[in-house]
């Protein structure tokens, strides 16, 4: 059984559903195989894996990296439940400033492919969550950028009112004031 790939309303943002192989011991999911992803049009070369543990109500984002190290991300949840968001930050795109959101649940086996040129953020819906993601470029703090989670221009319909934010995320600019470069 191979994963299924479901394109969402923003170009190139895709939900990936990995099948579970379950028995009396538990389950196994193959979350990534380069050839299968490439055949589905996601020809990413991952260079770094991250694991983030967060508490209920924690909101992380909205973050992206500038070229030449703009990151594509394959995001999943090992444990817990999040509302995951991608925002098109490509100034030359017809969907600039538009967002798409998806609930990712550790028990469901879904991942979200977010290509370079999109900001990413999520809020934890369960008591806690372990978010795992692969990126196509290494973290480069000098190119790391972001904008406010509650930017009215973008209008994300977050399922929280008063999230837990880092000092950095609390002080991010609006998208109109953010440092952006178009990504081809």
Sheet holding 81-88, edge to edge: 99-105, 81-88, 118-124, 59-65, 144-146
Q: How far apart are CA 52 and CA 67, in angstroms?
A: 24
Q: How far apart are CA 145 and CA 74, in angstroms?
A: 19
Catalytic residue flag (residue 63): yes
Q: Which of 63, 64, 96, 122 is catalytic?
A: 63
Q: Which of 45, 120, 133, 139 is catalytic?
A: 133
Q: How far apart are CA 72 and CA 65, in angstroms?
A: 9
Q: How far apart are CA 129 and CA 88, in angstroms?
A: 25
Catalytic residue flag (residue 32): no
Catalytic residue annotation: 63, 133
């Amino acid at each position: 059984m191979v994963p299924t790939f479901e394109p969402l309303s923003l170009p190139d943002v895709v939900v990936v559903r990995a099948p579970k192989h379950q028995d009396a011991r538990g389950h196994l999911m193959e979350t990534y195989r380069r050839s299968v992803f490439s055949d589905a049009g996601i020809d990413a070369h991952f260079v770094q894996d991250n694991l983030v543990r967060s508490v209920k109500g924690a909101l992380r984002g909205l973050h992206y990296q500038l070229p030449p190290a703009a990151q594509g991300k394959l995001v999943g949840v090992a444990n817990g439940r999040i509302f995951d968001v991608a925002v098109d930050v490509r100034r030359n795109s017809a969907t600039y400033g538009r967002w798409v959101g998806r609930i990712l649940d550790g028990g469901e086996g879904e991942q979200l492919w977010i290509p370079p040129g999109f900001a990413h953020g999520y809020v934890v819906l369960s008591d806690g969550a372990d978010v795992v993601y692969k990126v196509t470029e290494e973290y480069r703090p000098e190119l790391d950028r972001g904008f406010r989670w509650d930017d009215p221009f973008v209008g994300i319909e977050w399922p929280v009112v008063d999230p837990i934010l880092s000092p950095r995320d609390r002080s991010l600019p609006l998208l109109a004031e953010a440092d952006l470069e178009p990504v081809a």
